Amino acid sequence: MRFRSPAPGIELSRRRFLRGTGVALALPFMASWPGRAAAAIGGAAPRRSAFLYFPNGAAMKDWVPEATGSDFALPYSLEPLAAVRDQVLVISGLDKPNSRQGDGHYAKTANFLTGMPVAKTTGAELSSGGVSVDQLIARSLAGQTPLPSLELSTEPIVSGVDSNVGFTRIYGGHISWESASRPLTRELDPRMVWERLFGGSVSLDARGRQLRGNLLDHVLADARDVRRKLSRDDRPKFDEFLDSVRAVEQRLDHAAQEDRPPPDPAALGVTPPAGIPREPRDHVALMLDMLVLAFRTDSTRVASFMFANDVSGRNFSFLDGVKGGHHEMSHHEGKPEKLEQYRRITRWHVEQFAGLVARLAAIPEGDGTLLDSTMLLCGSSMSDGNSHSPDNLPILVAGGGGGTLIGGRHLAFEGDRPLCDLHLALARRMGLAIDSFGDSTAPLPDLGPDEA
């Protein structure tokens, strides 16, 4: 009974990110940065999407509601959603068929947002199967915001290769892929995210932009020279440099053409974070604050967040009733005391997600809130951590999606229903005119009124 208090997480996380994590977002929440977002699409709020991943699966018995439709009871792990349940879709029965081969973790995480087979390699001919859905969306929105997308996490990439299974650990730390062989580097330090939102090219004056632009022109010319002298098999990798120079230049151009003043942190009532907090829970809260801030300032409309890398052994002893690491507990072997700790860890992740939903819902935008225009996906790349199954994945979808998502329901799908059907449905809601994505069969039905 002592765990049944309704949605304690929301209060908790609000209080937490007010005390000493560096950012103090003053209450009450102020509206999204005027101008940028609303002006973008003739006054209507632009749609945003974020993809959240947590590692090591979930205890499914405590995740999947028994009833479907809108009249269902929240199981233990989902209880923190109580306060926002009208905004959340619980979706069960989605599979990732292309992860049924390969190893227990790497072949499942790298393709969380691609759905396609992950190449078994320690580096050569690396492949996540294809571009990830967030990056496909970002590509379609190119140029509309200062940043094409934002990739966030709290754990540095794990060094080394797993020679026992023959995979590089790079795979366990990336869900966002610009192409099958090119993962997007994630930002770990909230201060550096802040710099991307408010500093750097955004804060340069005309002279600074000119100096920076000249420098980049020069470097680009150098890069073209170098490329000519490289052999054929060196070039694809080297092109990352050329593409990065162009991306930074575009950012500079965007800042130069911006006719509105850059977002002003003081007017938004926010102050810069000091750096990476010592406690993982504060770190997670702060990164989610940054995600909210990025959407709020319309700095980007696409984001991904990894709570941690796959196989993360993060010590969760800070949670009441948990004594040990995440991966250790996910291998619960069916033992009640380990299962109990495992489900508490899962529930904590849901609690953080519920906090994010609540925060977005508290920010007015136009006639509604920031959450109304947003669609959030949150889930893991396997179901039960002890069996490492890539089927019946734990998946939540939240937000209004600009009037295209109707929450407060549990949708249970039967048979082979690939996760990519959901990715496809979300991508179409973000304005992509596509009929398939990854191993999709059709856009996932019943999410809300607007299927196109």
Partner 1 sequence: MQRGRILVGVLLVAAGPMAAAADEDAAEIARWQETFAAKVRPLFEAKCLACHAGPESEGDFDLAAVMAAEQPAEQGMAWDRVAARVRLNEMPPPGSPGLSDPEKGLLHRWLDGRPGRNLCEQLASDETKSWYRGQVMSRRLTHAEYEGMIAAIVGVDLDPARNLPPDGAGGEGFDTTGDTLFLSPIHLERYLAAADEVVETVLTDEMPPADAPERAGWERWVGVGFEPTAANVRDRLASFATAAWRRRVTDEELDRLAALAEATAALPEARPLDGLRQACKAVLVSPNFLYLVETVQAGGVEPLAPRQLATRLAVFLWASLPDDELLRLADEGRLTDDDVLREQVRRMLRDPRSRSLAEAFGLQWLELGGFAQRVAADRSLFPEVDDPLVSDFREETIRVVHRVFATDASLLELIAADETPLNARLAVHYGLSEPEQVGADGWGVVPLADGRRGGVLTTAAVLATTSYPRRTSPVLRGQWVLGQLLGGRVPPPPPGVPPLPEPHEGEESQTLRQRLEAHRSNPSCATCHDRMDPLGFGLENYDPLGRWRTTDAGQPIDASGTLPSGASFAGPEELKARLLDRRDEFIRHVSRKLLGFALGRQLDEFDQCVVKRTAERLAAADYRSGLLVEEIVLSHPFRHRYHKMED
Scan residues 294-313 and list those touching partner 1 (CB under 8 A).
313
Give the CA distances from residue 19 to residues 224, 282, 313, in Å, rounded to whole numbers and listed in that order: 49, 10, 27
How far, rounded to the nearest angstrom, does the alpha carbon of residue 25 sit from its chain's CA centroid? 21
For the residues of 420-437, what is the DSSP string, one character each?
A: HHHHHHHHHHTT---S--
- The answer to whether 7 and 81 have CB atoms below 8 angstroms apart is yes
Q: Which of 27, 73, 142, 215 is in the footprint of partner 1 by CB under 8 A?
A: 215
Q: Which of 11, 71, 86, 222 is in the footprint of partner 1 by CB under 8 A?
A: 222
Nearer to partner 1, 85 or 186 (CB): 186
Nearer to partner 1, 29 or 348 (CB): 348
The reply to whether 319 sits near partner 1 by the rule CB under 8 A is no
Minimal distance, residue 36 CB to partner 1, in Å: 20
Amino acid at the residue 222: D
The reply to whether 320 sits near partner 1 by the rule CB under 8 A is no
- The answer to whether 167 and 103 have CB atoms below 8 angstroms apart is yes
Nearer to partner 1, 105 or 429 (CB): 105
Q: Which of 44, 86, 323, 441 is in the footprint of partner 1 by CB under 8 A?
A: 323
- The tokens for 248 are 């930074």
Minimal distance, residue 48 CB to partner 1, in Å: 20
**Residue span binding partner 1 (CB under 8 A) among the ranges 41-49, 243-251, 297-305, 429-437:** 243-251
List the one residue out of 213, 294, 194 whose CA is nearest residue 253.
213
- Assign residue 321 a region (left: φ > 0; alpha: ψ between -120 and 50; beta: otherwise): left
Tell me the three-class secondary structure of 94-137, residue by residue.
EECHHHCCCCCCHHHHCCCCCCCCCCCCCCCCCCCCCCCHHHHH
Nearer to partner 1, 168 or 346 (CB): 168
Q: Which of 74, 126, 202, 290 is in the footprint of partner 1 by CB under 8 A?
A: 126
Between CA 452 and CA 449 the distance in angstroms is 9
**Residue span binding partner 1 (CB under 8 A) among the ranges 73-81, 213-221, 288-296, 368-376:** 213-221
Residues 358-397 that bind partner 1 (CB under 8 A): 387-389
Nearer to partner 1, 246 or 436 (CB): 246
Minimal distance, residue 237 CB to partner 1, in Å: 6
Nearer to partner 1, 7 or 202 (CB): 202
Give the CA distances from residue 106 to residues 99, 136, 173, 346, 404, in Å, rounded to whole numbers and listed in that order: 9, 22, 9, 20, 33
**Residue span binding partner 1 (CB under 8 A) among the ranges 27-35, 129-137, 221-229, 284-292:** 221-229
Between CA 48 and CA 378 the distance in angstroms is 14
Nearer to partner 1, 14 or 227 (CB): 227
Residues 175-204 that bind partner 1 (CB under 8 A): 178, 182-189, 192, 196, 200
**Residue span binding partner 1 (CB under 8 A) among the ranges 39-47, 168-176, 291-299, 340-348:** 168-176
The residue count for binding partner 1 (CB under 8 A) is: 76
Nearer to partner 1, 16 or 212 (CB): 212
Minimal distance, residue 328 CB to partner 1, in Å: 6
Residues 266-285 that bind partner 1 (CB under 8 A): none
The reply to whether 18 sits near partner 1 by the rule CB under 8 A is no
Dihedral (Cα; 11, 14, 19, 25), 10-degree rounding: -150
Between CA 267 and CA 30 the distance in angstroms is 9
Q: Which of 170, 270, 424, 447 is in the footprint of partner 1 by CB under 8 A?
A: 170
Residue that has been written with the tokens 């102050």 in this structure: 271
Residues 93-112 that bind partner 1 (CB under 8 A): 103-104
Minimal distance, residue 402 CB to partner 1, in Å: 28
Nearer to partner 1, 184 or 424 (CB): 184
Amino acid at the residue 126: L
- The answer to whether 425 and 130 have CB atoms below 8 angstroms apart is no
Minimal distance, residue 74 CB to partner 1, in Å: 28
List the one residue out of 13, 33, 29, 34 whose CA is nearest residue 363.
29
Nearer to partner 1, 329 or 424 (CB): 329
| Close Cβ partners of 214 (under 8 Å, ≥ 6 residues apart) | none
Residues 128-167 that bind partner 1 (CB under 8 A): 155-161, 163-166
- The answer to whether 92 and 396 have CB atoms below 8 angstroms apart is no
Give the CA distances from residue 90 to residues 37, 145, 413, in Å, rounded to whole numbers and listed in that order: 29, 31, 11
Using CB under 8 A as the criterion, what x/- string covers residues 327-346 for binding partner 1? Answer: -x----xxx-----------
